[in-house]
Amino acid sequence: MNILVVDDDNVSRLAIAHALRGLSSEAPLQVASGQAAMQALAQGYQADLIVTDVRMPEINGIEMLDLLRQDLRYAPVPVMMVTSAPEQETVRQAMQIGVQGFILKPVTPDASERARAVIERFHASMLEAPAAAARRLSITQPKYWSCLQALLAQTRKLAETVRAASQDGHEPDAAQQTAIDKQLDICQGLAKLLAAPVLRRTLSTLERLIRTSVPYHDSRFIEVLQAIDLNLHWLDQIERVGNSSA
């Protein structure tokens, strides 16, 4: 699990990272500004949770949250804000834009449980609960996890095919386009079957680009592929935890 901690104050940043250390075997990535956080994401850091201070130079916490929510790639990423009790206007703004939770200053050990609850809610929004899905589909839970693994494998295959087309410099020929369309149909069917709404929306965006004849080298294809990669990362986390406890 990847946690991104954003705060321009070294002491506060270290305190937040220390409080969240039990959530993952990986140490949180710490950056000193909203601009550095956006750069880390653009360079491929796959965040499962972003915890940010509000008052920072260049891009403050509210501005960064707004940038995230407007970006196809990062819009679903759960964000928590570190605030002091009197910052009621900040809380109101953050909730309007789409923050998932708050950590109060000074940071206390219960910050870890608050963050864990946010991540669990995020995972629940990514995928129907396995037990409920298995009952709805009238299959065993091991069969359910096999279906999820198939969704992950097929979506990776689709992303690889589209990425190759976007990097080739030439538009796919009829046979290649037919293969992409078939892979996309399979992925959309599996995402619908397993009730994976975030991935379904991302795949729908990819389909719109294809149907409207946007050139494959267009930057919008690059962005939607990054969004798919992030979705796969998040679903991998769910599959790994769920399969180990099944």
Whether residue 64 is predicted with pLDDT greater than 90 in this model: the reply is yes
Q: What is the pTM of this model?
A: 0.92
Distance CA 21, CA 233 (A): 20
Please give the domain boundaries of the chain with CATH numbers for all domains: 3-126 (3.40.50.2300), 130-245 (1.20.120)
CB-based contacts of 19-22 (< 8 A; 24+ apart in sequence): 19/103, 19/107, 19/108, 19/109, 19/111, 19/112, 20/51, 20/111, 20/112, 20/115, 21/112, 22/112
37 contacts 49 by C-beta, under 8 angstroms: no
Whether residue 134 is predicted with pLDDT greater than 60 in this model: the reply is yes
Summarize the confidence of residues 150-179 as an average pLDDT.
90
Q: Would you state the pLDDT for residue 86?
A: 65
Closest CA to 44 of 81, 66, 69, 73: 73
Q: Would you state the pLDDT for residue 244?
A: 66
Q: Would you state the pLDDT for residue 212?
A: 93
Summarize the confidence of residues 53-78 as an average pLDDT.
93
Rounded CA Rg of the chain: 19
Whether residue 43 is predicted with pLDDT greater than 80 in this model: the reply is yes
Q: How many CB atoms lie within 10 A of CB 178?
A: 11
Query: Quick one: what percent of the chain has pLDDT higher than 90?
Result: 76
**Model confidence band, residue 145 (pLDDT cutoffs 50, 70, 90):** very high
**Model confidence band, residue 88 (pLDDT cutoffs 50, 70, 90):** confident
Q: Would you state the pLDDT for residue 85?
A: 64
